Structure 1
Amino acid sequence: MGDFVVKLVRCLFVAVMAGSLLGCGGGGGGGSSYSGGGGGGGTVTPPAGGWVAGVFQAASSFKDKCAAARTGSDIEGNPFPDRAGTATDEKNWLRSWTRETYLWNTEVADTNPALGGTRLQYFDTLKTFATTASGKPKDDFHFSEPTAEYLARRNSAATASYGAEFVVISANVPRDVRVVFTEPGSPAEELSGGQKKLIRGSRILTVNGIDLVSGGTTQAEVDALNNGLWPASSGTTTTLTVQDPGASSSRTIMVTSQNLVTKAVNRTRILNSGGQKVGYILFNTFSPYSSETEIVTAMQQMQTEGVADLVLDLRYNGGGLLAVASQVSYMVAGDTRTAGKTFESLRFNAAAGTRDPVTGEANDPVPFYRTGLGFTVADGTPLPSLNLPRVFVLATGNTCSASEAVVNGLRGAGVEVVLIGDGTCGKPYGFYPQDNCGETYYTIQFQGVNHLGFGDYADGFVPNNASGSFGVRLPGCKVNDDYGHELGDAGEGLLAAALGYRSTATCPALVSSAVRSSSASVSTSKLPSIAVEKPERWIMERNRDMTLPR
């Protein structure tokens, strides 16, 4: 494991690498000396009474001292590092770890860990409670989960799915669940009678005979609806009645789940606009490693076609590998605009100085990567580049983390980003997941800033004509997501707005909703209704992943 850790390069949080971080001790400081409040002062004699406000022992002195020590090995074969300790030891580790590595460590109230409350209750207090300009919590990402669950999810490369992403527009009667997109070659896309089984905007009416729109009045029925829409395992066959956009009648299909990995580049198009070629790329994730090959191939297509502009559709992209985000930004901007500039730098708490307080390594900035890095494109392979002065980014509230880093990084290099859709999620921050005594903790440890030193977009990037007074305003248009057209169709709402803005620099009128009710018969008499519930996205899917190939 030691060599494994050494080869990590400033890892924020990595689906593949974080296991090495789980095995490391606290960042910054060793031994058991006490240090004063700012992370800087000299050592003092440990107090006889234990806790003293503002006096912190090194986190490493409490690491892996557990009230209930684990024995054996985890699912990756790593022996548990636990040793006998107490619940107070565990809370002392959280206290010191927060002081050493938390981005806003001076905004955390220092309370006695020996007092009442569990380790999780204590962890909930170890964050800033300040808010952004809009009133949302400045730290909206403080979280923990059992390490066994963390490892199980991290080691599950594929997930049971039909290959269709659903959106829950209305969770209660009259319920409205629609198809957002389908994965190429998936069960949801299999041709049936010359028609795709599911298309964007298809409304789900029944699931295995249960009325999704107005039925499901018992918990058992709603559980069956949830299990049918989001299967837990492969090989699950489900019968769906659906109504396609614009259709006056419904149809019935059967789909069988498979273990699928999200395809990073879902589709590409070359469109004609004003006599020029405009490229379109639907890019849904910066992970897994295959994203490097897929986006490089897509950009090569754009370069070969000689596109005059690019529409990069990140509306459902929650993040992933920051190195791939850097590659994408370079391929948009090219050599001249990125020469001598950094893509992103990490800003830690003030006490960290020039080093990463978690890894102890030098805090070197992330460059604009101009070559393959060895994820799935050979290390050193020159990347294609479009050399564009601007890019159109399609965004929603699901556009997060590494996707926002592309927007911010390009702006730092002088590339104009035109934002079409809605405000992004607002996550310029990142963390290293850290195990201690069977719980994995996520505590914000850095802020990403671009070449100009800017990273203050906790209220997201927003199109210039959006209502409200919060968020970083960019040129572009507020447009509701349009489920009546396939993604990549020139008539689809966000893409059409981008093409229109490209020609006239004006925005379409904003309609109240892009979703119209289906003509399906809806009854609201069966009350009370129970909400269907889409599984939450794992926190690791909305994060900057700092992994580089080993």
Structure 2
Amino acid sequence: MSNVARSLLSSVLAFSLVACGGGGSSGTPPIGGGGPTPSPTPTPTGCGLAAQQDFADRVLNEWYLFPDLLAAANPANFGSVQAFLDARVAPARAQNRDRFFTFATSIAEENALINSGSSAGFGIRLAYDTSASRVFVMEAFEGANGLAAGLDRGSEIIAIGTDAANMQTVTSLFASGGTQAVVNALGPSTPGTTRVLRFVQPGGAVVERSITKTEFSLDPVSDRYGALILNDGTKRVGYLNLRTFIVSDAANQLRTAFGQFGAQGVRELIIDLRYNGGGLVSVADTMGDLMGSGRVGQVWSRTVLRPSKASENTTRTFRSEANAIAPTRIAFITTGSSASASELVVNSMIPYLGTSMALVGGNSFGKPVGQAGFDLAACDLRVRAVTFQTVNAAGQGEYFTGLASVVPNTCRAGDDITRPLGDPREASIAAALDFLGGRTCTAFTSANQIKTAGAMTEGQRERIGLDLPDREALMPEQPNAAQRDNPGLF
């Protein structure tokens, strides 16, 4: 019998609880700790499409969280495992409970991301203006070629080409094929792919660079702005920007950050999760422990499976961490790209902070469920199926329309890409400081949760979440493992 690792893998929108095993797994890497232990799913013979679909079907029939919301589907009518999964879970999707959270992925690709943050690309996060069809860099990652070439937060990409002689403007790409045309022009996520990008830097300089995609490691807590002490008058506020929960080393980086906060006597926090699509629940649990000084043994969260698997339900309590603090007030910065493990952390703090916490920026995506990953190792197939829901100590876990429906305070703010992340003058950080300082802010509700853009397909609309009312993460139709958890990653 193989282990299930409790996890919320998010993309904006593919998040998962990982279950090791099922179908001949050699051992799925732990994505989270603890959790239920499923019986292995029988391994089909061979790696043909029919055999892989049969494997996926068995997983859903035994483990899917909403068994009454599974549709009958003839696998012969579908040309891929993903299309078959989409058809089977369509009733749950129609009720907003599985918005493409159940998916098929590569074992090797996902393991590389979890173990080292490894991904191939320019190392930038992109979003597009839905009304003006403009593409902006929201974030650039250290150690990757994009930042080295001069791309950083606030840069606008205005033209793309395979070389300087065949540049196509972003405007013409949108006109010819919408967002997917822009994605296609940027090229595949394979090392060695080179593109010439013409872009406008925040200061107004127009730059043209040939940039090659390489393997790079996604650092969960930026060395530039990941953990800072901000001064609000005479008060010190800890600012933490966590890019992703999916890289296992994020837990140790969080320990270091909270050690810095504790040493400075910080008790009020801004936790910036604005682009964080989720990841490992084990990392989310560690973050809770680091905010749980004095709460060891109290309930952090509960994992609830389908009725037939109720014996697998678990309770996670706060555990002792050497660098833990006891925050008195927290402002969580979120957008529609904040999902899964990000939402678990926010929701789990509500019973302990109540009105002393706020959601700042915009509403989160709305994913209180997680997936288990079942491996068909010989075929490099991992089926991520929604298998559990998480609830907090008060039993609250119904935030399918986003956390604005359950967090006591909200403060609307924009995502000001003209200023660096970590800058106290940036719109969302300024609003967070206002909340912590007892100053007024404008509330928002969950009513604005799900928007769509006409040029996008249904699958893409559901997968990505929203950063701002007029800006959305740029996502391919078939995102890779890294893009699922890091919306807009290229």
**TM-score class, shorter:** 0.7 to 0.9
The residue aligned with 1:477 is 411
Alignment-derived partner of residue 465 in structure 1: none
1:370 aligns with 2:320: yes
The answer for the alignment partner of 1:63 in structure 2 is 42
Structure 1 CA distance, aligned partners of 2:101 and 2:440? 40
Letter in 2 for 1:20: G
| Alpha-carbon distance in 2 for matches of 1:503, 1:400 | 27
Counterpart AA for 2:427:
G
Deviation by residue 1:477-506 (Cα, 9 ceiling, x = unmatched): 121211111111111110011112222431
The DSSP-based 3-state class of the residue aligned with 2:372 is coil
In 2, the alpha carbon distance for the partners of 1:482 and 1:114 equals 46
- Report the counterpart of residue 358 of structure 2 in structure 1: 418
Distance 1:541 1:252 in 2: 25
CA distance in 1 between counterparts of 2:290 and 2:174 reads 52
Shift of residue 63 of structure 1? 2.6
Q: Which residue of 2 aligns with 1:163?
A: 123
1:16 CA drift (Å): 12
**CA deviation after TM superposition for structure 1 residue 432, in Å:** 1.3
Structure 1: which amino acid aligns with 2:314?
D
**Corresponding residue for 1:186?**
144
Say whether 1:489 aligns with 2:423: yes
How many aligned positions are there? 427
Preserved CA contact (<8 Å) 1:327 1:370: no
* TM-score, with length taken from structure 1: 0.67
Q: Is the 8 A contact 2:160 2:195 kept in 1?
A: yes
Q: Following TM superposition, by how much is the alpha carbon of 1:97 offset from its aligned partner in structure 2, in angstroms?
A: 4.2
Q: What is the DSSP-based 3-state SS (H/G/I as helix, E as strand, rest coil) of the residue aligned with 1:432?
A: strand
Residue 407 to residue 22, structure 1, CA distance change in 2 (3 Å): farther
Match of 1:204?
157
User: Could you tell me how far 1:343 is from its partner in structure 2?
Assistant: 1.5
- In structure 1, what is the Cα distance between the partners aligned to 2:386 and 2:373? 9
Residues 441-499 of structure 1: CA deviation (Å, up to 9, x unaligned): 3332110111111111111112xxxxxxxx33431212121111111111111001111
Native 8 Å contact 1:476 1:501 kept in 2 = no
- Call closer, same or farther: CA 1:235–1:305 in 2, change over 3 Å: farther
Does the CA contact (< 8 Å) of 1:399 and 1:424 recur in 2? yes
Shift of 1:324: 1.6
1:282 to 241, 245, 253: 241
Q: Which residue of 1 aligns with 2:338?
A: 399
8 Å CA contact 2:143–2:216 kept in 1: the answer is no
Q: CA contact under 8 A between 2:187 and 2:195: conserved in structure 1?
A: no
- Give the deviation of 1:323 after TM superposition: 1.7
How far apart, CA to CA, are the structure 2 residues paired with 1:227 and 1:273? 45
**Secondary structure, counterpart of 1:495 in structure 2:** helix
Over 3 Å counting, the alpha-carbon distance change for 1:217 and 1:417 in structure 2 is: closer
Q: Cα offset for 1:20?
A: 3.4
Structure 2 residue matching 1:353: 3-state secondary structure? helix
CA shift, 1:348, in A, is 1.0
Within the candidate set 190, 196, 199, 1:233 is matched to: 190
Unpaired segments ≥5 residues, structure 2? 10-14, 27-37, 449-472, 486-490
CA contact (8 A) 1:95 1:113 kept: no
Match of 1:344 in 2: 301
C-alpha separation between the residues in 2 aligned to 1:251 and 1:264?
28
- Taking structure 2 as the reference length, the TM-score comes to 0.74
Pairs within 5 Å for 1:237-256: 237-245=194-202, 247=204, 249-256=205-212
Inter-partner Cα distance in structure 1 for 2:73 and 2:189: 42
RMSD (Å) for aligned C-alpha atoms: 3.9
2:400 to 458, 462, 482: 458
Q: Does the residue aligned with 1:388 lie in a helix, a strand or coil? A: coil
TM superposition shift of 1:214: 3.0
Q: Within 1, Cα distance between the matches of 2:301 and 2:338? A: 18
Structure with a larger share of its residues in helix: 2
Alignment partner, residue 271 of structure 1: 230
Query: Higher mean Cα deviation, 92-101 or 259-268?
Result: 92-101
Gap change, CA 1:18 and 1:541, over 3 Å in 2 = farther
Shift of 1:403: 0.6
Cα distance, 1:538–1:402 mapped onto 2, change above 3 Å = farther
CA displacement, residues 495-531 of structure 1 (integer Å, 9 cap, x when unaligned): 0111122224311699x9xxxxxxxxxxxxxxxxxxx
Q: After superposition, where does 1:314-329 map in structure 2 within 5 Å?
A: 314-329=273-288
Q: Highest CA radius of gyration, 1 or 2?
A: 1
Alignment correspondent of 1:505: 439
- Residue in structure 2 matched with residue 448 of structure 1 by the alignment: 390
Q: Offset of 1:253 from its aligned partner?
A: 3.8
Answer 1 or 2: higher relative contact order, Cα 8 Å, separation at least 6: 2
Letter in 1 for 2:320: R
SS in 2 for 1:20: coil
- Contact conserved, 2:202 with 2:418, CA < 8 A, in 1? yes
Residue number in structure 1 paired with 2:311: 354
User: How far does residue 232 in structure 1 lie from its aligned partner after superposition?
Assistant: 2.7
Letter aligned with residue 301 of structure 2:
E
Pair 1:126-2:126 in alignment: no
| Offset of residue 300 of structure 1 | 1.1
Instruction: Check conservation: 1:178, 1:201, Cα contact below 8 A.
Output: yes
* 1:278 CA drift (Å): 1.1
Structure 1 position 258, deviation (Å): 2.5
Name the CA distance, whole Å, in 2 between partners of 1:478 and 1:115: 48
Amino-acid identity (%): 26
Give the deviation of 1:90 after TM superposition. Answer: 7.7
CA distance in 2, matches of 1:96, 1:188: 43
CA contact (8 A) 1:271 1:279 kept: yes
